[in-house]
Amino acid sequence: MSTATSTDVPGSTTSDRVRSVFVRELRTVARTRTFLFLGLVLVIAFLGLAWVGGGARAGYVPTIVDLLTPIELLVPIVAIAFGYRAILADGNRGELDVFETYPLEARELVAGIYAGRAIGLLGAVLIPLAYVGALVAVAREDPFGRYASHAGADSPLLFVRFVVVTALFALVVLAVALAISALANTTRSVLALAVVALVAVLVGLDLALIYGLDAGIVSESMLAESLAVSPLSAYRGLVFETIVVTAAGTGPQTATPLASVLGLLVWGVGSLAVAVWAVGR
């Protein structure tokens, strides 16, 4: 399918080459029914959670609180699904061998694939969230007319923050998926690696933090910053600190947003670097 896009590479610039890979990836994403299906599943899951949990009738922040834990589980799974075979598939089809004869560099390939898949993933995650936002706007129960009321600290702005933070989180896990895809040699090994990565992301790193705290490896004074080590905790901390606490009031600091963002960026950029290295080896 894609030899056409690869053959017009000679003489082109880096951005042309990245763009052609990107366009090819977009087509792949668009043609893969499974991804559409995943998006639909998320629409149903998010809307269902917001409704069953009662958050949609209560406001934006209660909805975020209802969605947070399920999203911590669902978004990594979907992100891995979007990315874990992206590079391996090229390898299996022999395209990685082909590109050695063309001036397409590993980082260009990874950048193009990542950008293409990212658009697909963001669509699959953010469109359902947009539906949820719309649901809250419509379903939110009007307060008793007899009494003067106000929105309190609840605000669509906080929901936008949630969408942004969730997008960042999804992009980071997608980078991890690409790294796995690049490291694996066979379909079977990529599946195993993906499962290992999921377990590590979903429970392993948080458990490691708890163990570290218990064993004294993680100092209490640095716990808020150390949370950045785990993408899940970094994400959760960001949601707490920039959204929930804004509404709920003060207490011990839940996270350091800067450290959390840095942690997520390190995971994302690091994973992409690994992917580039693995493709180029």
Would you tell me which residues interact with another protein (CB under 8 A)? Answer: 15-16, 19, 23, 49, 52-54, 57-59, 61-62, 65-66, 68-70, 73, 141, 143-144, 146-155, 157-158, 160-161, 164, 167, 242, 244, 246-250
The number of beta carbons lying within 10 Å of the beta carbon of residue 219 is: 11
97/143 with CB nearer another protein: 143
184/239 with CB nearer another protein: 239
* Residues 51, 128 contacting (CB under 8 angstroms): no
User: What is the SS3 assignment for 12-79?
Assistant: CCHHHHHHHHHHHHHHHHHHCHHHHHHHHHHHHHHHHHHHHCCHHHHCHHHHHHHHHHHHHHHHHHHH
Residue 75 Cβ vs another protein, minimum distance, rounded to whole Å: 13
170/190 with CB nearer another protein: 170
d(CA 90, CA 115): 16
12/92 with CB nearer another protein: 12
Residue 251 Cβ vs another protein, minimum distance, rounded to whole Å: 9
Residue 184 Cβ vs another protein, minimum distance, rounded to whole Å: 29
144/214 with CB nearer another protein: 144
Residue 248 Cβ vs another protein, minimum distance, rounded to whole Å: 5
Residue 19 Cβ vs another protein, minimum distance, rounded to whole Å: 6
d(CA 226, CA 228): 5
d(CA 29, CA 18): 16
